């Protein structure tokens, strides 16, 4: 009898993309060991109600360029466009399955999904004015030097800010904080208008 290996132990990657209408998309990151890859965390979707509160907390307007680093299924970007007419946005996602899913989700919006390692993205070139990030502290720590450079260099007339969901940027002071309840679970939102601290 032929031995069958689970996908995580296989050297083969299926060419079939799961149904893009599936609310829980298939992912590469959740199906392979992350050791030795550029992935830093598994895919976990933020509840839509929390995403909407984060969008409102960011005070987005139609002159903003929103960027979501590690955008997953694209829900924050999609919902932001429902809230703010005329918004421009970019999502950055390393997982090819999630990038495909997100691209399909936002295909009729002024939004571009970039399949790339988020640590290699130039926020200045994207002319980002606002970031909404649902990342673990490890990812936020690794991003700190990029975020500090983005804050310090003028490339847009709109004021810059970052909203993080549930996790603070390590060793950095946030300006505002808000607690959101979703299905009896609490989520904290943190707003930053600068990155001050150790960015080694």
Residue-number span of the structural domain to which 170 is assigned: 48-192
Contact 151, 168 (CB under 8 A): no
Report which of 17, 8, 7 is spatially closest to residue 96, judged by C-alpha positions. Answer: 17
Contact 91, 64 (CB under 8 A): no
Q: How many residues does the structure list for the chain?
A: 200
Cα angle vertex 47, ends 46, 48, to 5°?
A: 110
Contact 53, 148 (CB under 8 A): no
Residue 184 is classified by DSSP as T
Residue 90 structure tokens: 């970019």
Write down the pLDDT at residue 92: 98
Query: What CATH number did the domain enclosing 137 receive?
Result: 3.40.50.150
Evaluate whether residue 38 is within a structural domain: no
19: CB partners within 8 A, 6+ apart: none
- Mean pLDDT score across all residues of the chain: 87
Evaluate whether residue 36 is within a structural domain: no
Report which of 48, 86, 38 is spatially closest to residue 183, judged by C-alpha positions. Answer: 48
Evaluate whether residue 89 is within a structural domain: yes
Domains identified in the chain, total number: 1
Evaluate whether residue 12 is within a structural domain: no
Evaluate whether residue 17 is within a structural domain: no
**Tens digit of each residue's pLDDT, the chain (200 residues):** 444 333 333 344 444 444 444 566 889 998 988 888 889 888 999 999 999 999 999 999 999 999 999 999 999 999 999 999 999 999 999 999 999 999 999 999 999 999 999 999 999 999 999 999 999 999 999 999 999 999 998 766 678 999 999 999 999 999 999 999 988 799 999 999 987 655 54
Evaluate whether residue 187 is within a structural domain: yes
Evaluate whether residue 184 is within a structural domain: yes
Evaluate whether residue 71 is within a structural domain: yes
């Amino acid at each position: 009898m032929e031995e069958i290996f689970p996908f995580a132990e296989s050297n083969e990657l299926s060419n079939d993309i799961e149904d893009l209408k599936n609310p829980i998309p298939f992912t590469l990151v959740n199906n392979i060991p992350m050791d030795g890859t550029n992935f830093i965390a598994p895919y976990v979707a933020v509840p839509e109600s929390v995403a909407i509160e984060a969008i409102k907390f960011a005070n987005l307007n139609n002159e903003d360029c929103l960027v979501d680093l590690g955008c997953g299924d694209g829900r924050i970007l999609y919902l932001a466009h429902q809230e703010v007419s005329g918004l421009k946005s970019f999502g950055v996602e390393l997982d090819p399955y999630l990038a495909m899913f997100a691209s399909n989700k936002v295909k009729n919006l002024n939004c571009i999904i970039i399949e790339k390692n988020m640590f290699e993205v130039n926020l200045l070139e994207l002319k980002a004015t606002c970031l909404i990030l649902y990342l673990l502290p490890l990812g936020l720590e690794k991003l700190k030097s990029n975020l500090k450079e983005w804050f310090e260099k003028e490339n847009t007339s709109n004021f810059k800010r970052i909203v993080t969901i549930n996790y603070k940027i390590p060793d950095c002071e946030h300006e505002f904080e808000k607690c959101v309840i979703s299905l009896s679970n609490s989520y904290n939102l943190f707003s930053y208008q600068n990155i001050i601290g150790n960015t080694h």
